[in-house]
């Protein structure tokens, strides 16, 4: 047996240009995704996210550089090795990709059917998975009889039925309303920790990164622009693209003369925090709780200065002024 590599994914100077294109979809991408992490890959449209997913899932191969998946150079795998690798990579898609003419059970058993597993075994395994995603009673329904969130739960059960060590969720919540998205992200997070999976979440939405990841990499125009622990990156974004992604949910507020809108990460909305804001004359206009704290928008006086400097001495939190 080969020793376990600490990395689930290792991109080493990976380049990819599609045939007929002059601009690379990915350029010199070097990125390590730690085994057992929940890693977000975020970027605007055209950043190269789908290309990265296609490389990991074996649908495309790099033109240059190397990609190691669980320590194996995917470009050097023979066909059997590729099939094995694909069975150990679960994929969850934005539009669920369920087969309409098959029942829920039939959709979940499909990967095992293709692998030649006997009916009784595969149905038993699929029912266990459906139970884990909260759809035990839906096995005989058809996709058209399910809500979007339920369809995605079926997609997750199908992705896990072959027992993968890597789960790749590609814009898995982009087609869902915020509440349903939150439920799906909770489910992915729970399954990741219960099954000791490496979870890679590809998204263009910072709130998805915030809600479900421990690490994040930001791509732009095929290049990695920054990466790090989610908390640090949200608190101290270094790149304009990251700031723009963070600002995507900027609330529309009327600002008075001399007022500005600030985006900060607060630890909570407890009384000491609110009191500190009141002392600064800051008005809370939008707040959303997430595992990293509270994502908050404040209206403050233009001359309030750097909130992080002002708030740090209070000892209440390590405030992080995301952007002005
Ligand atoms: N099959 C293809 N043939 C030619 N060019 C492609 C192909 N797929 C993607 N591209 C190009 O590669 C670049 C990266 O695209 P990719 O789909 O990986 O980005 P993305 O971040 O997933 O974008 P989106 O969020 O819009 O899906 C883009 O310039 C795109 O036009």
46 CB near ligand 1 (under 6 Å): yes
Ligand 1 atom with the smallest distance to the CA of 219 is 21
Under the banding of pLDDT at 50, 70 and 90, the label for residue 318 is very low
Claim to verify: residue 110 and residue 195 sit in the same structural domain: yes
- List the CATH number of the domain containing 263: 3.30.70.240
Q: How many CB atoms lie within 10 A of CB 193?
A: 11
CA atoms of 92 and 171, how far apart (whole Å): 8
Claim to verify: residue 23 and residue 52 sit in the same structural domain: yes
Claim to verify: residue 52 and residue 124 sit in the same structural domain: yes
Claim to verify: residue 67 and residue 166 sit in the same structural domain: yes
**Which is more confident, 279 or 27?**
27
Claim to verify: residue 196 and residue 79 sit in the same structural domain: yes
Say if residues 165 and 197 touch (Cβ distance below 8 Å): yes
Claim to verify: residue 51 and residue 119 sit in the same structural domain: yes
Domain of 258 in residue numbering reads as 250-323
Claim to verify: residue 261 and residue 302 sit in the same structural domain: yes
Cα distances (Å, whole numbers) of residue 187 to 106, 110, 194, 228, 231: 22, 22, 10, 24, 21
Claim to verify: residue 173 and residue 219 sit in the same structural domain: yes
How does pLDDT run across 64-74, given as a tens digit for each residue?
999 999 999 98
Claim to verify: residue 234 and residue 257 sit in the same structural domain: no
141 CA distance to ligand 1 middle (Å): 35
Is 1 among the domain residues?
no
How does pLDDT run across 72-125, given as a tens digit for each residue?
998 888 888 888 888 899 999 988 999 999 999 999 999 999 999 999 999 999
Q: Is the pLDDT of residue 316 over 80?
A: no
256: which DSSP letter?
-
Claim to verify: residue 227 and residue 257 sit in the same structural domain: no
118 CA distance to ligand 1 middle (Å): 39
Claim to verify: residue 181 and residue 290 sit in the same structural domain: no
Structural domain count of the chain: 2
Is 123 among the domain residues?
yes
170 CA distance to ligand 1 middle (Å): 13
Percent of the residues in the chain that have a pLDDT greater than 90, as a whole number? 58
Claim to verify: residue 119 and residue 254 sit in the same structural domain: no
pLDDT at position 223 is: 96
Q: Which of 214, 238, 262 is the last residue of a domain?
A: 238
């Amino acid at each position: 047996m080969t020793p376990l590599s600490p990395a689930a994914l290792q991109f080493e100077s990976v380049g990819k240009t599609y045939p007929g294109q002059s601009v690379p979809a990915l350029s010199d991408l070097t990125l390590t995704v730690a085994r057992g992490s929940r890693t977000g890959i975020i970027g605007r449209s055209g950043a190269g996210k789908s290309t990265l997913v296609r490389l990991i899932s074996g649908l495309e191969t790099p033109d240059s550089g190397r990609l190691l998946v669980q320590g194996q150079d995917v470009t050097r795998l023979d066909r059997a090795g590729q099939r094995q690798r694909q069975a150990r990579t679960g994929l969850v898609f934005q539009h669920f990709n369920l087969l309409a003419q098959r029942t829920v059970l039939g959709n979940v058993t499909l990967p095992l059917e293709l692998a030649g597993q006997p009916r009784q075994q595969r149905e038993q395994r699929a029912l266990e998975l459906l139970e884990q995603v909260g759809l035990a009673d839906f096995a005989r329904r058809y996709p058209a009889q399910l809500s979007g969130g339920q369809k995605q739960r079926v997609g997750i059960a199908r992705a896990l039925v072959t027992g993968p060590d890597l789960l790749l969720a590609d814009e898995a919540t982009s087609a869902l309303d915020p509440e349903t998205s939150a439920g799906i992200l909770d489910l992915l997070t729970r399954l990741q920790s219960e099954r000791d999976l490496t979870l890679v979440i590809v998204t263009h939405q910072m709130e998805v990164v915030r809600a479900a990841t421990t690490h994040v990499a930001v791509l732009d125009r095929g290049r990695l622009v920054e990466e790090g622990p989610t908390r640090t990156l949200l608190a101290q974004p270094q790149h304009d693209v990251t700031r723009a992604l963070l600002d995507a949910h900027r609330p529309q507020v009327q600002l008075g003369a001399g007022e500005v809108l600030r985006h900060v990460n607060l630890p909570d909305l407890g009384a000491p925090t609110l009191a500190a804001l009141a002392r600064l004359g800051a008005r809370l206009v939008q707040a959303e709780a997430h595992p990293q704290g509270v994502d908050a928008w404040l209206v403050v006086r233009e001359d309030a200065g750097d909130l992080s400097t002002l708030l740090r001495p209070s000892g209440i939190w390590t405030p992080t002024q995301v952007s002005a």
